[in-house]
Structures are given as structure tokens and as C-alpha cells.
């Protein structure tokens, strides 16, 4: 059967069709359903992860080579960092001030939104962290606030203000934990008393989920492979268990009462193992009761505040020891560099004594060997000897300052608090 070709639409028909499309588009826009392309920007690398900041027009992206980029909505790049680990997941803190990164070797890295500086590195899992979710407790009503016991941190009433971190030049942030230009951000981050209660949930590829208050204080861990699953059907209760679980997504409710998670694995009927087959392998959605977080929120918040103070003490002690080690190491490196020629002079003069023996003899006022005399006069010289003495004296003075102003006072505070 032959069909006649369709005639092209007239101008009037085309105009009517265009009007109908515009009306449909405007009505759809009014209902908020369509998506509009704001811009299309070429990127010279592959993006494997991306997450919008919940408070600002910021987009954090992770490239295939695990570099982290922060862009504004207008595509202005703010910073780029290379954490040095394979990044497998990303999320933002509820206030948008911290970006959390999960790594292939089970670390959670917390970075400052302002400059990308690393604030904390926490070993949470033994395998790759697949997903992150940072949930903040919903605001309390007036009645709830009256019922909730407020916690007063009385540390400042019993202890004088803690000394600042020791400082040393030539060290980058995150290298040794010493204070730098990012010190204020670290102190604000570790001060739990000024934050709303929030919990960071992390899920790994082996089926484990970890919970941390403010992203740094661990409070719980669940292995989904060991969680019993009870299903009530037709008046009969059947028990199941998941096997070879890998967590895909976790989400904690705003009231902290419920955790929803997506995971892959094999569903095993523990009442009748013969009923389990390959069809039970797939993606599963579980709802877990986490009301203990809400019910014990006051106690958890108090503990996290005390843990924050203790962690600050430990950080200052660690920074003080690192600074002392670096100062003494620099002095000893110069000493060994200047005295490296003495052993060869002792050998050339046919002497079997060591450099230490020669200097001990010199200190006790005994006879100076020809080799040591030649070294002090010709090789080292008066200027070199004065330089070594000045370096060692300076290192000793710095060590005394760190011990008296930072380490000693911090240990005293820590003993009182314990």
C-alpha cells in the first residue's frame, strides 16, 4: 500500500506548535520539574567523585589520580590538594567547613574548606572506605532543651590557660603536627563544646560501619555480616543473615534514631540453609535502630568534650617532643659533619683509639695526641669550633624552653585532669 508523503507544516501550524511548547515549558518551570544546563565546562581529567557543599556554592571533586579540587559554582578553582592516598569516598560536614575523605587503606582524612589543610587523619577501617555520611542532630525544641541537662566544662576553673603549640620554622602543616598558620582552625575544630552534636558514619567494602562524634571520636562499630535479620511473614518469623557484605551507601536520620544502608551480599536463611541459593545474591536495603545515639546524646556529647581536651594535651606533648627531636638532630648533624675527618686522621697516625676516646682524654686534661691536635688546628679551626659550640648551646636553650613552657606544664595539667 502506497502512502503519500506528509506535507510540511505551514507557518501558522509551526507558530502554534512553538506556542504550545513554550506554554508547556513555562508550566513545567513553574512546577519546578525541569533541569536547566547552567554551563558546560571541559575538564582535563577524569572525575570519579563529587560532592556539593551543604552551605555554600562549593563543589569538591576527586580525580582518577586522587587529587581533590574545590570549585565555586562559577567554576573558579579555590585549591587543589594531593593527599597521597587513593580516595574512595567523600562527604562534607553538616556546617560545610570540613571535607571528609575516605581512603583505600581505611583512613578518614578531614580537611579545612578554607585552604585544604589536613586537620585530622583517623584510622577507622582495615579496608577501603566506600561511603561516608555526616549527620547533624536536628535542632531541639524549647521543651527538649529544658529537659536536656546542659554540660558545663569546668576545666578552665581549675587549670590556667594552656600554652600554645611550640613553633619551629621550615615545617609544613601536617608534617609533624606542629602549630602553623592553620592553628586557629585546628583549635576551633577540636573544640566540641561550640558544635552541634553530629556523627560521621563510614562504611567499608567488608561490611563494617563505624560511627564517630564530630568525625574524630569513635563511639561504635557494626559488622553487618554478624547482624541477625528477622522477617515476620504470615505469622511466621524467619531469621536471615547477610554474607560477603560490601556497604554501598549509609544515611543516618536527622533525629539519629535510624540508619538506612544499601549493601551487596548474599542473604542466608539461618533457619534452613538449604533454601539459600544464588538468587539471594544482590543489593539489600537495611534499616537499623540507632536510637541509642539520641537517647544517650547528652552523655556522648560530654565524653566528646572531655576527649577533645585530652586530645589537645596529647597533641601539644607530641608537638613538643617532635620539636625537641628536630632541634637536637640538627645540632648533632652539624657535629658529625665537622668531625667526620677525625677518624681518618687517627688511622693515618696509626692510632687505634676512637674519636670519643680522644675527646675524653682532652676533657680530662691528659696528653693530646698528634692526630687530635692536627684536627683541631688545621681541619676544624677556631671558627668551626665556635660554630659547633653556638649550635649546641642554641639547641640546648630551645630544649629548655620547650620543656619549661610547653611540655612540663602540659604534663602537669594532664596529671591533674587524670
Using the CB atoms, write b or e for 364-390: b if 16+ within 10 Å: eeeeebebbebbbeeebeeeeeeebee
> Which one, of 75, 87, 103, lies nearest residue 48 by Cα?
87
**C-alpha span between 358 and 339 (Å, rounded):** 12
Burial of 44: CB neighbours in 10 Å, binned 0-12, 13-18, 19+: exposed
What residue spans define the domains of the chain? 198-300, 302-413
The pLDDT confidence band at residue 180, using thresholds 50, 70 and 90, is: very low
Give me the numbers of helices (H) and strands (E) for the chain, helices first please.
11, 16
Beta strands 208-213 and 98-103 are: unpaired
Q: Output the pLDDT for position 93.
A: 94
Longest CA–CA separation in the chain, Å? 125
- The answer to whether 328 and 170 have CB atoms below 8 angstroms apart is no
41-68 confidence digits (pLDDT tens) = 788 889 999 999 999 999 999 999 999 9
111-149 confidence digits (pLDDT tens) = 999 999 998 899 999 999 999 999 998 775 555 555 444
Beta strands 107-112 and 118-123 are: antiparallel
* 115 CB neighbour count, 10 Å cutoff: 14
Q: Output the pLDDT for position 156.
A: 54
Choose the most confident range, by mean pLDDT, from 104-113, 229-238, 331-340, 357-366: 104-113
**C-alpha span between 318 and 145 (Å, rounded):** 38
Number of alpha carbons in the 13 Å side-chain half-sphere of residue 64:
4
**C-alpha span between 123 and 103 (Å, rounded):** 10
Q: Output the pLDDT for position 168.
A: 47
Residues 390-410, mean pLDDT to the nearest whole number: 72
The pLDDT confidence band at residue 193, using thresholds 50, 70 and 90, is: very low
353-388 confidence digits (pLDDT tens) = 887 787 777 777 767 788 887 877 777 777 777 777
- pLDDT at position 278 over 80: no
241-269 confidence digits (pLDDT tens) = 999 999 999 999 988 999 999 999 998 88
Is the pLDDT higher at 158 or at 343? 343
Q: Output the pLDDT for position 97.
A: 93
Q: Output the pLDDT for position 350.
A: 83
Q: What is the DSSP letter of 136?
A: E
Q: What is the DSSP letter of 53?
A: -
Dihedral, CA of residue 363, residue 368, residue 370 and residue 374, to nearest 10:
40
Number of alpha carbons in the 13 Å side-chain half-sphere of residue 372:
17
Number of alpha carbons in the 13 Å side-chain half-sphere of residue 181:
6
**Among 148-157, 313-322, 354-363, 396-405, where is mean pLDDT lowest?**
148-157
What's phi and psi for 110, nearest 5 deg? -110, 125
Q: Output the pLDDT for position 20.
A: 58
The pLDDT confidence band at residue 169, using thresholds 50, 70 and 90, is: very low
Q: Output the pLDDT for position 409.
A: 56
Q: How far apart are the first and last CA of the chain?
A: 96
**Among 1-5, 92-96, 260-264, 393-397, where is mean pLDDT lowest?**
1-5
Q: Output the pLDDT for position 176.
A: 37
Q: Output the pLDDT for position 6.
A: 44
Is the pLDDT higher at 398 or at 191? 398
pTM, two decimals, is: 0.67
Choose the most confident range, by mean pLDDT, from 75-89, 130-144, 230-244: 75-89
The pLDDT confidence band at residue 331, using thresholds 50, 70 and 90, is: confident
**C-alpha span between 351 and 368 (Å, rounded):** 13
**C-alpha span between 130 and 108 (Å, rounded):** 11
- The answer to whether 66 and 104 have CB atoms below 8 angstroms apart is no
Q: Output the pLDDT for position 81.
A: 94
- The answer to whether 349 and 358 have CB atoms below 8 angstroms apart is no
Number of alpha carbons in the 13 Å side-chain half-sphere of residue 20:
6
Cα 348 → chain centroid: 56
Q: What is the DSSP letter of 323?
A: H
Is the pLDDT higher at 335 or at 161? 335
pLDDT, the chain, mean: 77
Amino acid at each position: 500500500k502506497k502512502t503519500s508523503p506528509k506535507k510540511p507544516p505551514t507557518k501558522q501550524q509551526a507558530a502554534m506548535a512553538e506556542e504550545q511548547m513554550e506554554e508547556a515549558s513555562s508550566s513545567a518551570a513553574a512546577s519546578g520539574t525541569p533541569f536547566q544546563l547552567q554551563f558546560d565546562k571541559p575538564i582535563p581529567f577524569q572525575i570519579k567523585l563529587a560532592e556539593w557543599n551543604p552551605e555554600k556554592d562549593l563543589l569538591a571533586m576527586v580525580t582518577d589520580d586522587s587529587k581533590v579540587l574545590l570549585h565555586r559554582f562559577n567554576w573558579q578553582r579555590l585549591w587543589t590538594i594531593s593527599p597521597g592516598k587513593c580516595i574512595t569516598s567523600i562527604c562534607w560536614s553538616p556546617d560545610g567547613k570540613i571535607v571528609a575523605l575516605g581512603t583505600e587503606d581505611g583512613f578518614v582524612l578531614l580537611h579545612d574548606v578554607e585552604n585544604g589543610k589536613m586537620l585530622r587523619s583517623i584510622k577507622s577501617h582495615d579496608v577501603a572506605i566506600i561511603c561516608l555520611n555526616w549527620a547533624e542532630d536536628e535542632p531541639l525544641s524549647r521543651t527538649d532543651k529544658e529537659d536536656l541537662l546542659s554540660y558545663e566544662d569546668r576545666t578552665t576553673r581549675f587549670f590556667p590557660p594552656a600554652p600554645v603549640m611550640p613553633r619551629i620554622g621550615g615545617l609544613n602543616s601536617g608534617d609533624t603536627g606542629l602549630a602553623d598558620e592553620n592553628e586557629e582552625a585546628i583549635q576551633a575544630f577540636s573544640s566540641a563544646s561550640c558544635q552541634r552534636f553530629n556523627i560521621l558514619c563510614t562504611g567499608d567494602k567488608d561490611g563494617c560501619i563505624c560511627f564517630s562524634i564530630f568525625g574524630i571520636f569513635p563511639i561504635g562499630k557494626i559488622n553487618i555480616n554478624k547482624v541477625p535479620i528477622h522477617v515476620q511473614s504470615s505469622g511466621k518469623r524467619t531469621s536471615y543473615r547477610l554474607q560477603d557484605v560490601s556497604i554501598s551507601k549509609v544515611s543516618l536520620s536527622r533525629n539519629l534514631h535510624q540508619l538506612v544502608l544499601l549493601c551487596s551480599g548474599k542473604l542466608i536463611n539461618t533457619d534452613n540453609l538449604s533454601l539459600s541459593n544464588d538468587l539471594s545474591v544482590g543489593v539489600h536495603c537495611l534499616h537499623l535502630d540507632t536510637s541509642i545515639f539520641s537517647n544517650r546524646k547528652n552523655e556522648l556529647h560530654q565524653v566528646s568534650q572531655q576527649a577533645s581536651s585530652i586530645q589537645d594535651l596529647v597533641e601539644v606533648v607530641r608537638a613538643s617532643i617532635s620539636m625537641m627531636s628536630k632541634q637536637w638532630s640538627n645540632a648533632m648533624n652539624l657535629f658529625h659533619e665537622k668531625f667526620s675527618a677525625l677518624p681518618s686522621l687517627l688511622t693515618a697516625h696509626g692510632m687505634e683509639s676512637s674519636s670519643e676516646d680522644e675527646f675524653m682524654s682532652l676533657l680530662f686534661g691528659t696528653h693530646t695526641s698528634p692526630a687530635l691536635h692536627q684536627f683541631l688546628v688545621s681541619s676544624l679551626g677556631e671558627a668551626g669550633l665556635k660554630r659547633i659550640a653556638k649550635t649546641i648551646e642554641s639547641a640546648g636553650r630551645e630544649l629548655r624552653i620547650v620543656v619549661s613552657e610547653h611540655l612540663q606544664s602540659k604534663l602537669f595539667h594532664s596529671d591533674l585532669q587524670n
